[in-house]
Amino acid sequence: MELRKFIKDFADQFDDTDASVIQADTVFHDLDEWGSLVGMSLIAMAKTQYGKTITGKEIRECITVKDLFDLVSSK
């Protein structure tokens, strides 16, 4: 798993947030567009693109995009 690709895949889940503002250290909960539907998209993305199962609770415990990457990597 590559961090740069993960960040791009993560950024793809947003419609109105410019991909350039999403970096490894971005606190994603603070993004205006972040919400439960994007969280659900992230769960689906982890499953379809990485074959990993993550939960809403685990996502809530992450702070930065890098934390999400580590979460999915650890599965």
Partner 1 sequence: MNYNPFSLEGKTVLVTGASSGIGRGVAINCSRMGATIIVSGRNEKRLGETLSLMEEGEHAKMVCDLTITDDIVQAVQALPKLDGVVHCAGIGQRIPAKLLQEENIDRVVSANFKAPVLLQAELLRQKKVNKAASIVFIASIASWSPSLGNSIYSASKGAIISYANCLSLELAPRQIRVNCISPAMVWTDLILADGTDAEQLKEDEKAYPLKRYGTPEDIANLAIYMLSDASAWMTGSNVNITGGAFYS
Site for partner 1 in 20-49 (CB under 8 A): 36-37, 40-41, 43-45, 47-48
Cβ-based neighbours of 40, under 8 Å, separated by 6 or more: 56
Is residue 3 a contact point for partner 1 (CB under 8 A)?
A: no
How is residue 8 written in tokens?
């791009």
Question: Tokens in use for 24?
Answer: 């490894």
Nearer to partner 1, 21 or 44 (CB): 44
> Which positions touch partner 1 (CB under 8 A)?
36-37, 40-41, 43-45, 47-48, 53-57, 59
